[in-house]
Structure formats: structure tokens, C-alpha cells
Amino acid sequence: MGRRSVVVVGGGVAGLAAAYELSGGSAGPDEATPRVELIESSARLGGALATTELAGRVVDVGPDGVLARRPEAVGLVEELGLGDRLEPVAASGAWIWLRGAAREMPSGLALGVPTDAGALRGWPGLSRRARAALARDRHWPARLAVGEDATVGAIVRAKLGDEVAHGLVEPLIGGIQAGRIDDLSARSVFPALLEAARRGGSLTVALAAGGPTSPGPAHATGPSGPAFVTLRSGLGSLPEALAAELSARGVVLRRATAVTALRRTPAGPYPWEVDTATTTTPADAVVLATPAAVTAALVGRHDGALGALGAVRSAGVAVVTLSLEPTTTTLPATGTGLLVPLATGWPGPETMLVTALTFLDRKWPHLRRDDDVLVRAHVGRSDDLRWGDLDDATLVARVHDEARHLLGRAGPIRDAHVARWPSALAQYELGHAPLVEAARAGARRLGLALAGSAYDGVGVPATVGSGRRAAREVRERLAP
């Protein structure tokens, strides 16, 4: 048989990472390397990893940093020879808007869940009743049977009360996922929380005994180095570097081309044919690095478990970046950002749109300038689509008004940019883990592989790892 052929559908970072691994990974191509073709429906590669020029510097308008202790993204950056561009986060701590004011986040939180009730004793962000609920969990914990899974919200509310759930856990976990903790699966989103609940007894004690589950808002560095890093050229430069490397390896990159069908060809030399409007590519295997709903539409008719991926919902968000006049802008004394709980009231219309502010030029040294302050606002959740009804100018003005309320002062806007991500984040709801397991089993039976943020985590490291693992599965399957 001639050279093997693999098609990657989807040119986000998962698809690019899959194509990189298929073409040899860190070692590069060899005689066993298949022909690789990547097909992306949009004109740009990289998905949510994207940059823009704002106020004289390159700024990420999607994810702006990665968790350094996870090896997938940092390792890929170093393999591409970009290690000298890595920059550690420069500040630590965060604030949260509770009880009508910005409060410095306490220590001892695991994704917002307190692990040390003593650290919150006297903290003004919670009422005395909420602090008493934390003390009860330590000494007289509520009983809770969670079984195979439960929502994050159900566990936290039952064990620690509604105020902790709404004021601390929802802004952190809900913000990361752009979802609601009462919908999100603990097994898929926060397995350490599910395990702590299964142990019974005190939830805070069990979480503390399990060790850190995240670096937390108060820790920019740890024993082994910085908690978060970015690229001085922007994380959006990672897809550009990957695309250049793939082109040098002979990988075929097709932009602005939609895959219209995946057809099985059991009688031919290749088991699959991948159709676009103008071409058909034969393939020994296909990596589907597409959103779950797109994957279901393309291959659901071949296997019911793959069709079930159509049930995975996604949440849209917007990112509004503001360059503000510095002398009339007041940031909190420390920290890289400010979280805003859902349904937070303010003097303006409705409740706030903003779910978080990030102080970009405090967070990343390469973005600092003397003549402005760079603030990024995050807007939108799975059940809050109001931003979609506003044009860019109206959205910028609304975000600026809310920032003034949250910060006290937010000077005139010197420059602004709006990035809209209508289906950015898959929602890992109850039943997500078995659904994914069944879909992957169905894909393997068909000679397909699944990759992307719908399966192994929504962060950049998890998504990169998902692509590379899918590619390794394919290479092992095709090995002689």
C-alpha cells in the first residue's frame, strides 16, 4: 500500500496540535509519516487563540495565558523554539465584588471553594451566616449522597450554603466555563470536589487534604515557578508558529474551506473520503477537531454515540479590551483582576453584563506603558446572551460604565476592541463524561479520533493535549 493519508478537520489549536503530532511531533517527519491535510472552515487558523493591535501593542483577544504547571502548551511552545518568548505572570491576587464593594480574595480557596474556614473568619465578603455555615461544615457537616456525579452547585450548596456557592464558586468556576455551577458536572469540571463529597464528612477538610487543585487567585508563583505564563508575542502567535512549521513539513493547510461530508468507502483502498464543495480527499483516518455539534452533524449518522454529541451545548462570550487614560483610572492596590458574581446590581440598567475585569498591563510586563491602562472585560454566560443584542459601540460604552462603577474611576477610553466568540465554550453538564466516553469508543470503531475543547477541558493546555493524544491514537492504529 502507498503512503498513509490522514485528514484533520478543524484548524483550531487542537487540530493544529494534532497535525503537528501526526507529522512527527518534536522529532519531525520520517519515512512512516502519513500525508496530512488539515481543513478549516474559516479564513484564519487558531480558533479562539487570536490577537489584535491595540494602543500600540499586540493584545490577545481570546485566552491570554496558560497554566504553567500543565506541560502540554508550554512543552509545545518549547518544541517550536519559542521558549525564549515565554513570560511569567507578574502579579498575584484577585478581587471580587461582594456586598457592594471590591473585596480582596482570601487565601485557601480551591476554584473558589474554601478549604480553610479560618481564613474567612472576619472576611467582609461573606455574611456572618455564611461564615457560620463554613464552621458547621468543619464540625457538623451535612450529609450528601452524590453517586456517580452531581453538579458543582448541588455539592457546594448542600455542604457550604448558597452564599458561598453564589459569591465565591460561581464567579470562578462559572467564569472559567462561561456556565452555571448548577448545570456543570463536578466529575468533568472539578473531579476533586466530587471525590471530596464522596468521602463524606467535611467538604473543606477533604479538599484541603487532597492538596491544591489550582494555583488560586493569590498565587502567581509556586515552588516550581510561575503559575501562569504567556507569549510576549501573544498566545495568538502560537497558531501562526504551528502553521509555519506544518507548512515546512509538507502538511496541506486549507483555510476557508468547509467539510461537507465524511463518507465511508469500505470497498476502496481508503476507508474514508472527506468531501468539500470542490474536492474529495481519501483518508485512512480522520481526526475531528471540531465543536461537538459539528462533529455530530458530520459523522452522527455513522454511529449513534457520535450523533449524541449534538446534545453538548456551548456558551458564547465577548471580550472587550479598553485602553484607558491612566491618571483618571484607579485599580485595586494589588492583583490581576476583579470578579463579578452573576446578577450583580448597579445604578445602570438591568444587572451587570461584566463577569470579570483583567488588568492586562499589570498581569503581563510586556504590555505595560506609561501613557495608558489596559483593562479587559469578560461578558456573557451560557444563560446571559444580552451582549449579542448590542453593537460594538454600545457594548464598549456599557462596559466602560460598569468598569467605572466597579473601579471607582475608569478614565476616558483611548482605544477599544470587541471580540465576539458566539460558541466559544462547551458546557460540561451532567452526563458529559459518559457521553464523551461512548463517543470516543464509537469513533475508534470507525477509525476516527476526537479532539478539542469539548472533551478534555476548555483550557489551552487541555486542548493542545487533546489534539496530540488523538494524533498518537491514529498513528498507533496505522502502524504496520
pLDDT at 62 over 90: yes
- The per-residue pLDDT for range 174-195, each reduced to its tens digit, is 999 999 999 999 999 999 999 9
Q: Give CA separation, 422 vs 315, 316, 319, in Å.
A: 7, 4, 11
Strand partners of residue 317 = 421
- Residue-level pLDDT at 248: 98
Residue type, 327: T
Q: Is residue 163 one of the residues assigned to a domain? A: yes
Q: Is residue 130 one of the residues assigned to a domain? A: yes
Average pLDDT rounded to a whole number, residues 2-21: 96
- Residue-level pLDDT at 209: 86
- The per-residue pLDDT for range 336-369, each reduced to its tens digit, is 999 999 999 999 999 999 999 999 999 999 999 9
- Residue-level pLDDT at 221: 44
3-class secondary-structure state, position 388: helix
Q: Is residue 77 one of the residues assigned to a domain? A: no
Q: Are residues 308 and 319 in the same domain?
A: no
Q: Is residue 80 one of the residues assigned to a domain? A: no
- Secondary structure letter of residue 330 according to DSSP: -
Q: Are residues 323 and 420 in the same domain?
A: yes
Of the residues 215, 247, 268, the one at which a domain ends: 215
pLDDT at 223 over 60: no
Q: Are residues 113 and 207 in the same domain?
A: yes
Q: Are residues 333 and 346 in the same domain?
A: yes
User: Containing domain of residue 143, as a range?
Assistant: 106-215
- Residue-level pLDDT at 219: 44
Q: Are residues 362 and 432 in the same domain?
A: no
Higher pLDDT, 80 or 267: 80
Q: What is the mean pLDDT of the chain?
A: 94
Distance in angstroms (rounded) separating the CA atoms of residues 215 and 244: 33
- The per-residue pLDDT for range 72-128, each reduced to its tens digit, is 999 999 999 999 999 999 988 899 999 999 999 998 899 999 998 888 888 999 999
Q: Are residues 116 and 205 in the same domain?
A: yes
pTM of structure: 0.94
Distance in angstroms (rounded) separating the CA atoms of residues 477 and 36: 15
Q: Are residues 345 and 376 in the same domain?
A: yes
Q: Is residue 137 one of the residues assigned to a domain? A: yes
Higher pLDDT, 479 or 41: 41
Number of domains in the chain: 3
CATH number of the domain at 299, please: 3.50.50.60
Q: Are residues 44 and 59 in the same domain?
A: no
Distance in angstroms (rounded) separating the CA atoms of residues 423 and 444: 26
The band of 213, judged by pLDDT with boundaries at 50, 70 and 90, is low
Of the residues 384, 407, 426, the one at which a domain ends: 426
Q: Is residue 75 one of the residues assigned to a domain? A: no
CATH number of the domain at 165, please: 1.10.3110.10
Show Cβ contacts of residue 318 under 8 Å, excluding neighbours closer than 6 positions.
378, 379, 380, 387, 388, 395, 418, 419, 420, 421
SS3 content of the chain, % helix, strand, coil (to 5): 40, 25, 40
Q: Are residues 187 and 142 in the same domain?
A: yes
